[in-house]
Amino acid sequence: MDQPGEPRRMTLRAILAPYDKTGLVELARELQQLGVEMFATGNTFRILRDADVAVRPVSDLTGFPEILDGRVKTLHPAVHGGILARRDKPEHLAELRQHGLGTIDIIVGGLYPFQETVARPGVTLQDALENIDIGGPTMLRAAAKNFPHVLPIVDPADYNDLLDALRNDSATLEWRRKLAVKTFQHVATYDTAIASYLRGAEDPFPDNITLAYAKRAELRYGENPHQLAALYRRVDPLMREPEGVVNARQLNGKALSYVNILDADAAWSAACDFREPAVVIVKHMTPCGIAGRDDLSQAFQLAFEGDPISAFGGIIAVNRPVDEELATTVRAARHPTSGQRLFVEIIIAPSFTPGAVERLSKSKDLRILEAPPVRMAERAFEYRGIVGGMLVQEFDRIGGDPQELRVLTKRAPTDTELSDLKFAWLCAK
């Protein structure tokens, strides 16, 4: 634990203040076995005390009680001096002794659930403000800044690694650096969510934009086999529910590739543009067949007949649940000249009946995806990367409302013609 140049101390000290209590008691018991002196805040202290863990309240460290309904617990020199002191600088350690302070070696933290709070229906501004953590990020940032001497732990998944490092005295500088990076990223994502929520939709083009993403999966490769790639999910407190391919659940088939995800996203976004039941077939991110019918089997057949050659190796998106009848129709489709069974990379829909999954899974490589709908009406902006920058524009929603249309001819279109025009507009969009 001790870095070169710092005096060795037998007893380590830790502050435990995670909001997520997963694995907390087990961690604390192991730390106790290792002789770590532990301090904890509020509810964390009560949980550990009730579990017969030797823990002291942070107020014992600071000599000051929690105040303002717990808003101020750890914002104190006894905490931050102990975290920020460099152990390789004798003058820092002497200054701590002068003020009767000790060093703190481990911070196990976690932040108030701001994003979960603001995602709840009917949340008030005061609810949101009360769930903005101040003390937690401050301690974690301090520990991460002083990572050569202090261990910042922000993820319960790192508890076992922490214990192993303490048992074996193997907390390398490189591992500490990774913990610091993880901590700063965690806090930055948290702050981004707060700024996004408070800004809302009032300022569509602020002077600065910070977007947060969390890794969903590592991919086998990118657009080409020599390119590394990964899939990231947008972290946005204004996104009330998961949506889109990035949140899809795979029911069958091989792992998705980079190109698969691009094609599936194009197909699913197009299918979700339609309010009526619709089937979209996409090849290389371009629709090669779109049809709308209450009978989805008929809709698929019409979409397939739009370009049965290009449909081979394509992606099928259906904006309604897929039943066994539609699955049977898809499996029965054939190439118009060779008679070969239709090869499909992906079929994506909001849900599949068990019978549909069983029938479609006869093609073992077919990727079956259940995806939450893309809520087009709620999409405010779209972003496109360019070299050294990013373009931002309002999402294109025009064409869905007949009231937006202006007739320029002497004869107005009939209701049927208007319906067809609306469908055609969405296809072209």
- The catalytic residues are 145, 284
- What is the spatial distance between Cα 12 and Cα 105, in angstroms, rounded to a whole number? 6
Q: Is 329 exposed, middle or buried (0-12, 13-18, 19+ CB in 10 A)?
A: middle
Is the Cβ–Cβ distance between 176 and 203 less than 8 Å? no
- What is the spatial distance between Cα 236 and Cα 222, in angstroms, rounded to a whole number? 25
Kindly give, in sequence order, each residue whose CB lies less than 8 Å from that of residue 233, ignoring residues fewer than 6 positions away.
213, 214, 215, 216, 246, 247
Give the up-direction half-sphere exposure of residue 315: CA atoms within 13 A in the CB hemisphere: 29
- What is the spatial distance between Cα 353 and Cα 245, in angstroms, rounded to a whole number? 19
Kindly give, in sequence order, each residue whose CB lies less than 8 Å from that of residue 279, ignoring residues fewer than 6 positions away.
271, 289, 290, 291, 292, 296, 299, 300, 302, 303, 316, 317, 318
Is the Cβ–Cβ distance between 330 and 347 less than 8 Å? yes
3-state secondary structure of 196: helix
Kindly give, in sequence order, each residue whose CB lies less than 8 Å from that of residue 194, ignoring residues fewer than 6 positions away.
114, 132, 237
3-state secondary structure of 147: coil
**Long-range residue pairs from 417-423, CB within 8 A, at least 24 positions apart, any chain:** 423/274, 423/292
Is the Cβ–Cβ distance between 258 and 243 less than 8 Å? no
Q: Quote the tokens at residue 296.
A: 């989805």
Give the up-direction half-sphere exposure of residue 41: CA atoms within 13 A in the CB hemisphere: 27
- What is the spatial distance between Cα 90 and Cα 31, in angstroms, rounded to a whole number? 28
3-state secondary structure of 307: coil
